[in-house]
Structure 1
Amino acid sequence: MKDSRILSTFQDLAPASGTRPMEAMPVVSPDRESVFDTCQVGVVLRAVLFVEAIVCVAALFGAASLMGWVGQMALLTGAALPAVLAWLLAVCGLKRLLARWSVTAQSAVGVLLGGLSSFYGFGLLVWMGLAGTESWLVATVAGCLVAAILVTALVWRSKARAPAGTEARLAELQARIRPHFLFNTLNSAIALVREEPAKAENLLEDLSELFRHALADTHEAVPLSQELELARHYLAIEQVRFGDRLQIEWSIDETASRAKLPPLILQPLVENAVKHGVEPSPTGAVVRISTQRRGSVVVIKVTNTVPAGSGVKGNGLALDNVRQRLALLHDMQGQFQSALVDNIFQVRLEIPL
Structure 2
Amino acid sequence: MKPSSKRPDWPDSGNLSSILGFAPSDGGEATVLPLFDPARVFDVCHVGLVLRAVLGVQGLLALGLALVSRDLGHWMQNMASGTVVTMSAVLAWLLLVCSARRQLAGLRGLWQWTVLLALGALCALAGWELLNLANDEPSSGFRLISVSLAGAACAGQLLLWLKQRERAQRPADAMAQLVELQARIRPHFLFNTLNSAIALVRLDPHKAEGLLEDLSELFRVALADATAVVSLDDEIELARRYLDIEQIRFDGRLRIHWRLDPAAGAAKVPPLLLQPLVENAVRHGVEPNEAGGDVEISTRRLGSEVEICVVNTVGLPAQTSGHGLALRNVRQRLRLMHDVAARFELKREPERFSVRIMLPR
TM-score by shorter chain over 0.5: yes
Counterpart-to-counterpart distance in 2, 1:347 and 1:131: 60
Q: CA deviation at 1:227?
A: 2.5
Partner of 1:121: 127
Residue 50 of structure 2: aligned partner: 44
Matched residue of 1:136: which SS?
Answer: helix
Q: What is residue 199 of structure 1 aligned with on the other side?
A: 207
- Asked if the contact 1:172/1:268 (under 8 Å) is kept, the reply is no
Work out which of the residue numbers 333, 355, 360 in structure 2 matches 1:347.
355
- Mapped to 1, the partners of 2:76 and 2:139 lie a distance apart of 23
Q: Which amino acid aligns with 1:87?
A: W
Q: Offset of 1:201 from its aligned partner?
A: 1.7
Partner of 2:86, secondary structure, is helix
**Separation in 1, partners of 2:254, 2:169:** 35
1:326 is aligned, of 334, 338, 349, to 334
User: Which ranges of structure 2 fall in alignment gaps of 5 or more residues?
Assistant: 1-37
**Helix, strand or coil for the counterpart of 2:151?**
helix
Q: Give the aligned partner of residue 239 of structure 1.
A: 247
Q: Deviations over 1:257-276 (max 9, x none)?
A: 33333332221111001111
TM-score of the pair, normalised by structure 1: 0.78
Letter paired with 1:324: Q
Is the CA contact 2:121–2:152 (under 8 Å) kept in the aligned structure 1? Answer: yes
**What is the letter of the counterpart of residue 218 of structure 1?**
A
- For normalisation by structure 2, the TM-score amounts to 0.77
- 1:86–1:117 CA distance, 2 compared to 1 (3 A): same
Match of 1:208 in 2: 216
Select between 79-88 and 272-281 the one with higher mean Cα deviation: 79-88
Q: 1:101-120 maps to which residues of 2 (within 5 A)?
A: 102-104=105-107, 110-111=116-117, 113-120=119-126
1:133 matched to which residue of 2?
139
Structure 1: which 5+ runs fail to align? 1-31
**Percent of residue pairs identical:** 50
Residues 138-166 of structure 1, C-alpha deviations (whole Å, 9 max, x = no match): 32342233223223322333344344223
Compute the displacement of 1:59 (Å). 1.7
| RMSD of equivalent CA atoms | 3.1
Q: Aligned residue for 2:86?
A: 80
Secondary structure of 2:44 counterpart: coil
User: 1:37-66 CA distances to partner (integer Å, 9 max, x unpaired)?
Assistant: 333232122101211122123324543445
Partner AA of 1:119 in structure 2 = L
CA distance in 1, matches of 2:112, 2:258: 43
Match runs of 1:3-18 below 5 Å:
none
Instruction: Check conservation: 2:175, 2:329, Cα contact below 8 A.
Output: no
Residue in structure 2 matching 1:178, options 178, 186, 190: 186
Q: Distance in 2 between matches of 1:291 and 1:33?
A: 32
